[in-house]
Amino acid sequence: MKAWWKKFIGTVRRAKLSVGQFKSFGYDRMVKYYDKYLSTTVFTILSRMSPEDFYARTYDCAIGRLKTKHNAIMNDVKCTYNLTPKQYWDYLNPVKYGERVAYGQ
């Protein structure tokens, strides 16, 4: 062992590698993350992309990256809507129906 390393190790105090309390991964935490970090990005994308392209792109990007924790949430949390993709899109779209340019009216 190098003398300088041995000297350094002898001067350093033990440090904790964890910060704060453990937060469980769940649906509510995921929604809060979405609200804080993703909502403005998704809002902007929805104003310029067709519903078909948005859902296809989201599916293609996400399906191969889902982890056990995501599947557990999808299996455990009851779905609270009964809308078609088009109805859901019309509800979410920030641009009024007559002003949309990304796809045909």
| Statement: residue 35 has pLDDT above 90 | yes
Residue 37: its pLDDT value, please? 96
The stretch 2-24 carries a mean pLDDT of 74
pTM of this structure: 0.55
Give 45-54's long-range contacts (Cβ < 8 A, gap of 24+): 46/89, 46/92, 46/93, 46/94, 47/93, 47/94, 47/95, 47/102, 48/102, 49/102, 50/102, 50/103, 51/85, 51/86, 51/88, 51/89, 51/103, 52/85, 52/103, 54/89
Residue 105: its pLDDT value, please? 46
Tens of pLDDT, residues 38-97: 999 988 888 888 877 888 898 899 989 989 988 888 888 887 777 676 676 676 666 666
